Structure formats: C-alpha cells, structure tokens
Amino acid sequence: MTTANQATIKDQVRQFIREELASAKGISTFRDDESLMANGVIDSLGVFRLVTFMEENLGVRVGDEEIRAENLESVDKIEQLILSKIKKN
C-alpha cells in the first residue's frame, strides 16, 4: 500500500465523519488523534454508521469483536484498523 492510498483512506474517513456525524452535532473541527467519542462526535448510532461506511466504501469487513472503543476512538485509530485489515487480505 502506498502513502497516497493511506492518505486517501484517512481523508475518506475524516470526510465521512465530518459530513455525516460531526456536522449534525454542530461540530466543525476535530483532530485526527482526538477522541471522537469523548468529544461527542461519535455515539452508538455513529459507530454503526461508521462501520457500515468502512465496509461499503473501503471494502473491509469489521467483525463484531473489533467494534471496540480502542479501534474506533480517533481518525488515526480507525485508519490503523482499516490498514491492518487490508494487509490481511
């Protein structure tokens, strides 16, 4: 996987979170290393929507056991999860 692909994945995740989850809550900015759950960007419904986005748009299968706060805590952590799943395939 190239650096360009990694940037694309992170950009896609960040854009989805900003447009589909954060903006509805009036949140316009967040850092890639910021806790999305602690700052209120992602709630339980948001987790479901995020996992659906990852599976439908990024082609990764997220198992129930992987849907944990430590995997979905921040844009950086979400990117790491996606990249680890791509490398396994």
Give the pLDDT confidence of 39-82 residue by residue, as tens digits: 999 999 999 999 999 999 999 999 999 999 999 999 999 999 99
Give the separation between CA 36 and CA 13, rounded to whole angstroms. 12
pLDDT of residue 61: 95
- Please give the CATH superfamily to which domain 3-88 belongs: ACP-like (1.10.1200.10)
**What's the rounded Cα separation, in Å, for the pair 64 and 24?**
26
| Angle value at C-alpha 61, between 56 and 63, nearest 5 degrees | 130
Q: Report the predicted TM-score, pTM, of the whole model to 2 decimal places.
A: 0.89
Summary mean pLDDT of the chain: 92
Q: What is the pLDDT of residue 46?
A: 96
The more confident residue out of 35 and 89 is: 35
